[in-house]
């Protein structure tokens, strides 16, 4: 109930529309309550007393009531759907906004398909709780209440006699409700796993085909599909068991009414029409209880999805701004790491007591074996993660003391794996600075050595790119990413192995663009190809999370340490030739 009430809070902005929907629902349900009374009057006054005027009145009343009921039925469904759709849109929007604020650690720990399922499958499942089942809940609840009132009016003793079965019905609803909700959670998890496998196979189609693993992926998908099937069948089993249990208890109640009510008719305590009307109202209780049970089961299933959604909404935003966080002013680019220790798991630090200071405009290369902590340093600077100990300062200002937006606006990143959006070339470059003019955008493309190949595309800058830019070569994608970074015009630049996946010719063109990009900016270059960092102002050599060497290319070669060893491994044979 607490969870359901939390969902209902999203209805607050649409409360007046909801009130109108509920009014329509009540009047639509009232039509059902009038039918037993028509039967009573038909038996007691028309058939028994031969009252023709009552017969005409009943005939006219049936037509009028069902015409009005149709209008109210339309109103309840349309207005309730309007509210439900808005609530779902609002929740989905809030989940998406939350996902934008969650730290990178959340994305490291969760599969992409699972995250997608939160926004799609889980939020959509809430629609059932908010629309169809809520309509049924209100409608059948009103019919149930109205029927009980009518039964008390007709014969309160017989009504009390009927209620003997209610505790049993409530026990069944509570017992199976818990099982249905648990199985509903299993269904949502299984659906998320299917989405995850689907996302992985679609995004990795080239790898799957190159390794001839289509059959393996089909088997993997079928396994998750069968898990989903089993979860749904468990839920169906509980639902299928609950309904006949409720019906059997209801049948016992109807039998008691017939037995006790029949004696009352024989003794003259009530009329035959009243007993028939009472029986119809009793059935009107039985049917709403069954429908309410089904609706509650569906709502329990939807609430399992809702719980997953609210679990995401309740996640702490680990990278939080201080209440008095200031806007980082335009910086010169001095970067200082002071006794920085960090680990994705605090018990296993990746960086240990890192200390260095970079002057504005310097190009600093980070090199070392895989796992040494190079990319981790690059992730800490824009606060994708927060340090466990120590501090990072830009122009003497601790990055934790400024707003995230103002910090990241002044840090540009060109990653190894370029991510382009499924839009035009123009829109992908404009992503760097949304208020840039066309002239500024084209200048950025020229500086990135991208303008010439762009105008050679079918529609130039308006050429639509496929998913992740698959229509372009690796070098072309990287140059668009560089143009995007140039347009952003950051004071601090991070190049994370930006040329490692390119062929020699593409690397030359891209490196030329990168050299232009780095001019006048404090730049961190992560590279395995040491030839790309010979001209760096400083080279920091990392090993096991610590800076073990610091100097220029020539100084480090002369020191004959780790850097010299790495350099000799890569280039001794090529230079000999």
- State the Cα–Cα distance between residues 512 and 499, nearest whole angstrom: 11
Structure tokens at 543: 């090993």
Q: According to CATH, where is 3.40.50.300 located in the chain?
A: 418-489
Residue with tokens 């190949």, as numbered in its chain: 453
Q: Helix or strand or coil: residue 540?
A: strand
User: What mean pLDDT is reported for the chain?
Assistant: 80
Strands (E), 278-375: 335-342, 351-358, 363-367
Residue with tokens 């709780």, as numbered in its chain: 129
- State the Cα–Cα distance between residues 103 and 339, nearest whole angstrom: 23
Cβ count near 78 (within 10 Å): 11
The contacts of residue 135 (CB under 8 Å, 6+ apart) are 25, 76, 77, 80
Averaging pLDDT over each range in 127-131, 228-232, 539-543, which range is the top one?
Answer: 539-543
- State the Cα–Cα distance between residues 48 and 50, nearest whole angstrom: 6
Q: What is the DSSP string of 413-456?
A: EE-SS----SSBHHHHHHTT-TT--HHHHHHHHHHTT-HHHHHT
CB-based contact 460:424 (threshold 8 Å): no
CB-based contact 254:286 (threshold 8 Å): yes
- State the Cα–Cα distance between residues 164 and 253, nearest whole angstrom: 8
Q: Model-level pTM?
A: 0.67
Task: Give percent of the chain with pLDDT exceeding 70.
Answer: 86
pLDDT value at 263 more than 80: no
Query: Residues 420-476: pLDDT tens digits?
Result: 887 889 998 998 888 899 999 998 888 888 888 899 988 899 988 876 677 788 788
Query: Residues 342-367: pLDDT tens digits?
Result: 988 777 888 999 999 999 989 898 98
Structure tokens at 6: 């939390």
> Which of the listed CATH numbers 3.30.70.2750, 3.40.50.2300, 3.40.30.10, 1.20.1560.10 matches domain 2-313?
1.20.1560.10
Query: What distance lies between CA 113 and its chain's CA centroid?
Result: 10
DSSP type of residue 323? T
Averaging pLDDT over each range in 37-46, 190-199, 398-407, 528-537, which range is the top one?
Answer: 398-407
- State the Cα–Cα distance between residues 200 and 225, nearest whole angstrom: 15
Mean predicted confidence (pLDDT) in 122-146: 72
Q: Helix or strand or coil: residue 498?
A: coil
Query: Residues 280-303: pLDDT tens digits?
Result: 777 767 667 667 766 776 777 677
Q: What is the largest distance, in Å, between two alpha-carbon atoms of the chain? A: 120
Tell me how far CA of residue 164 lies from CA of 48, 160, 167, 458, in angstroms: 33, 7, 7, 78
Query: Residues 178-231: pLDDT tens digits?
Result: 777 777 778 877 877 887 787 777 766 766 776 677 788 888 888 888 888 888
pLDDT value at 392 more than 90: yes
Instruction: Give domain 418-489's CATH superfamily.
Output: P-loop containing nucleotide triphosphate hydrolases (3.40.50.300)
- State the Cα–Cα distance between residues 400 and 403, nearest whole angstrom: 8
* pLDDT at residue 150, as a whole number: 77
pLDDT value at 103 more than 90: no
Tell me how far CA of residue 541 lies from CA of 20, 382, 500, 524, 545, in angstroms: 69, 21, 18, 13, 10
Nearest CA to 138 out of 338, 241, 15, 292 is that of: 292
């Amino acid at each position: 109930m607490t969870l359901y009430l939390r969902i209902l809070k999203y209805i607050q902005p649409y409360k007046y529309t909801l009130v109108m929907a509920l009014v329509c629902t009540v009047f639509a349900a009232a039509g059902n309550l009038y039918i037993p009374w028509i039967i009573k009057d038909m038996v007691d006054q028309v058939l028994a007393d031969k009252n023709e005027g009552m017969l005409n009145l009943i005939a006219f009343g049936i037509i009028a009531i069902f015409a009005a009921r149709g209008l109210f039925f339309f109103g309840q469904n349309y207005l309730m759907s309007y509210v439900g759709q808005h609530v779902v849109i609002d929740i989905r929007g809030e989940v998406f906004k939350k996902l934008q604020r969650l730290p990178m650690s959340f994305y490291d720990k969760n599969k992409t398909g699972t995250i997608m399922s939160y926004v799609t499958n889980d939020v959509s499942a809430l629609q059932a709780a908010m629309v169809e089942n809520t309509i049924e809940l209100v409608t059948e609840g009103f019919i149930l209440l109205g029927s009980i009132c009518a039964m008390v009016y007709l014969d309160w003793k017989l009504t009390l006699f009927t209620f003997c079965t209610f505790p049993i019905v409530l026990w069944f609803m509570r017992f199976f409700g818990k099982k249905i909700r648990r199985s509903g959670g299993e269904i949502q998890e299984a659906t998320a796993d299917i989405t995850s496998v689907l996302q992985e196979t679609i995004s990795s189609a080239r790898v799957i085909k190159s390794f001839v693993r289509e059959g393996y992926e089909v088997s993997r998908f079928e396994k998750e599909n069968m898990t989903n099937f089993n979860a749904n069948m468990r839920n169906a089993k509980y639902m299928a068991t609950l309904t006949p249990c409720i019906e059997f208890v209801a049948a016992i109640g109807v039998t008691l009414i017939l037995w006790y009510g029949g004696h009352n008719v024989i003794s003259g305590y009530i009329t035959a029409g009243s007993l028939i009307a009472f029986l119809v109202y009793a059935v009107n209780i039985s049917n709403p209880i069954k429908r309410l049970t089904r609706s509650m089961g569906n709502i329990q299933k939807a609430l399992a999805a809702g719980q997953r959604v609210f679990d995401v909404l309740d996640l702490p935003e680990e990278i939080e701004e201080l209440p008095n966080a200031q806007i980082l002013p335009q910086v010169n680019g001095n970067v200082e790491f002071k006794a920085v220790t960090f680990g994705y798991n605090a018990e296993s630090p990746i960086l240990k007591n890192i200390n260095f200071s970079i002057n504005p405009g310097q190009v600093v290369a980070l090199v070392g074996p895989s796992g040494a902590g190079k990319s981790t340093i690059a992730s800490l600077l824009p606060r994708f993660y927060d340090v466990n100990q120590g501090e990072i300062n830009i122009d003497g200002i601790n990055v934790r003391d400024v707003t995230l937006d103002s910090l990241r606006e002044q840090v540009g990143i060109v990653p190894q794996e370029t991510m382009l959006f499924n839009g035009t070339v123009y829109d992908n470059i404009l992503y760097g600075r949304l208020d840039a003019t066309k002239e500024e955008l084209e200048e950025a493309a020229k500086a990135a050595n991208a303008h010439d190949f762009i105008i050679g595309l079918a529609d130039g800058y308006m050429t639509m790119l496929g998913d992740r830019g698959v229509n372009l070569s690796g070098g072309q994608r990287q140059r668009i990413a560089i143009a995007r970074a140039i347009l952003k015009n950051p004071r601090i630049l991070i190049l994370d192995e930006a040329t490692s996946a390119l062929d020699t010719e593409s690397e030359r063109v891209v490196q030329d663009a990168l050299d232009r990009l780095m001019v006048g900016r404090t730049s961190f270059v992560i590279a395995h190809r040491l030839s790309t960092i010979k001209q760096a102002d400083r080279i920091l050599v990392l090993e096991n999370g610590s800076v073990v060497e610091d100097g220029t290319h020539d100084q480090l070669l002369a020191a004959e340490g780790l850097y010299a060893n790495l350099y000799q491994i890569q280039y001794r044979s090529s230079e000999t030739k």
